[in-house]
Structure 1
Amino acid sequence: MKVLLIGSGGREHALAWKIAASPVLTRLYCAPGNPGIAKVAECVALDPANHAQIVAFCKENAIDFVVVGPEAPLVAGIADELRAAGILVFGPSKAAARLEGSKGFTKDLCARFEIPTGAYQRFTQADAAKAYVRQQGVPIVVKADGLAAGKGVVVAFELQEALDAVDACFSGAFGGAGAEVVVEEYLDGEEASFFCLCDGKTALPFGTAQDHKRVGEGDTGVNTGGMGAYSPAPVMPQAMIDRTMRELIEPTMRGMAEIGAPFSGILFAGLMITKDGPKLIEYNTRFGDPETQVLMLRLKDDLLLLLKAAADGMLDQVSVRWNDEPALTVVMAARDYPAAPEKGSVIRGLDSAAADGSVEIFHAGTAEKDGELVANGGRVLNVTASGRTVAEAQAAAYAAIAKIDWPEGFYRRDIGWRAIEREKTAAL
């Protein structure tokens, strides 16, 4: 099978690494890819935003299957254009991708189909949004409605912080994503990431993880795209998975079908596990980043066949198996991320760092310049490891980081802390 993977980040490197191991794969392309992906796939200089270019490449190279990594092409309708050209694709339609493309759309869907989530209001004017914030009080959550690369969300514990967040959205800080604002109830509990493979009819659970959104240790500082993750999430035992499927995922699948937008692809539920059970924070319509990195280390089965089963509408005929050992990934980011990350600094020592068989290093934002590997983004490397315990996986990841020569990079030193505290308590 000839496959085209679209994307260039750590998520796509992890997907490429796993797809490349499939015995049914004959050739793997990635557009545009990165230096890490180039070790397992043929990178091609295509623009994911240029759908006509992608379709033409698929026809010229007899591509059998396209896997779309990032959210922006999905929200823009790339899956529809590929399907219209007769090309099999893993990823939701433009109509179904609204689950990620518009937070207001998702909130309205939850209200209509009684899916547990926080109370909310939608606004197109700053004054009205601010009045609602003052009425509700803090803590409160302010979100840009559209895609903002994980940065359009403010969890405000001070009134002025919430009001400033409203102003930031409507002043264009997040581009068109902030033209509408969703202000919603603050949910208290423990966050978890839950994934399902979907084919429009069937939703198949596809792993749990916990990520670390805040830039600073102790979960402090501003939200980022994610500074690290581990899988599985201890807060999501089988009983909680079953409840999440029953109360959130299955009503979402029924609701999307009812409104004429059946969901096919990966449904990524950002959850808050509250005292009253699981509640939806938001949906994403693509694999998580950096959660994919830890899921791929744990997946026993052939990823390519699972993705194809979803695209073919045959998920009721497959199952998913996982390694019991947990996996953990630490994001190494460029100085000043997430505000204005520095690009161009040289990175060395990756071969030595990855020499341990339990370690994989996925490239998230790298490039090659004058024969050297350089930083080319905010989140640059995902140092990923497995172990018998989360503590063991964490130790392996940080031991690998110690061998990487990149003075301009930084990382959190407490990834996995919550799970490790649980392990210590269980051992007493």
Structure 2
Amino acid sequence: MTSTYDRAAGSRLLRQLRESRGWSWTDLARALRGTAQQLRVDALAQVAVPSIQRTIARWESPTGMTVPADRYQALLVHLYARTPAGVVNLDAGSDLDRLVTAFQYLGVSSERIDELRSVVARSAPQGEANLFTMLSPAIHTAAARVLRDPALLDVDLLGRLSAETSTIDQQVGTVPFVRLQLRLSPVAEVFRRLLPDAPVPLRKQTAILAAEAFALAGRLAFETHDDEIAAALYTSAVSTASSQDDARVPVAIRTSHTMVTLYTTNDLAAAGRIAAAAVHEANRSQDLAIRARAYAVHAEICARSGYVRRARAALSRAWINVDRTGSNQEDGRFGTDRLAGFEGVCALYGDDASIAHESLARSVATLTRPRDAVQRGIVSTDLALARLRLGDTRACADLLHEAVDLTAHTGGRVPAQRIRHVRGALRPWHREAFVADLDDHIYDALIGR
């Protein structure tokens, strides 16, 4: 095991590994896609072989500037853990050991390498090459047993699967989205397979938990630009949740789906239809925080569409529900911190920069938890736009610097889109030094890394 950081050496070792098996770039690309199909890493299973070839070429470039992304790391580990004859070999001097050395040269963290080794070690005894090996050992064993005989499904396994979904959700903003997506994929697949044959007493609970997992998987697919997969997962989440007499879950899913639809298609009408459906179902729910979020999302879509009065009416209903819950940023539910951000966005689209600034500043001040990092990046960018509309261009740029740092850390797709929008609004000042500094920061943190 080496601790030397040397990207050129890592790239060279990746090439040597491929050539030692007599593989061309095309051969390795096909092998990686086949492994992706086995592991149900859908985003890569559908990628064309020439595209994967080009990715491999970048890894092996003598400049050593490109490191395999998390999803490719998982595929490479599964691929090289077996000899060309299909025999598992995890020993010192094996292809897997050489791959790990390459990863270390390329700067992959020891924690990530341990995680990858653990996944492969769990798959080896069963001779499995599927995504269930990515589950924790306790869940993997129980899930394998239940998938063979669904009648054995019990609340303990459902609780473990639900806890894993919740843990992954809580790590949004602190762990790369691709890594969270890989961890959640087997959980969502277990739920998908359990749904048709779940025992009747557990069918409703299984459906609700499955819908929550599908929705989070859709969010993660959106963040990693797998838009078709995101749309399919949200469709599954809505249909699964709507089959149960519990309005809370479909409302939460539809509000998330509204914003994903907006940012993937820029189709306000389509987003508006989903938001309206969320409000309709929210009125059946007794969960006031869920209802408040549905109204807030609907308000933003109305404001973006130019329906200022409708936006204000929806915001008023959202505030009524939040005030009744007493919910705030400390309990992790939708509360005053998030709603102030929606109020600020609606004011921006209603051309009231002063109110927008006040609301957005209040929201930013309360979004302090690690879980809030993505949202803080979004609201900081909106606040920057409010500052610009109030005539303070330097303050706008200063706030964008903060948003850039947050977005580089979280990988959030929405704040990145909004940063581009606000930077476009700064175009008249493009010759100013503070804007040039901002451009350098954007390039270094978000584009050139």
TM range (shorter): under 0.3
**Structure with more strand by fraction:** 1
Question: Which structure has more helix as a fraction of its residues?
Answer: 2
Give TM-score, length-normalised by structure 1.
0.24
Q: Which of structures 1 and 2 has the larger relative contact order (alpha carbons within 8 angstroms, sep 6+)?
A: 1
Q: Which TM-score applies when normalising by structure 2?
A: 0.23
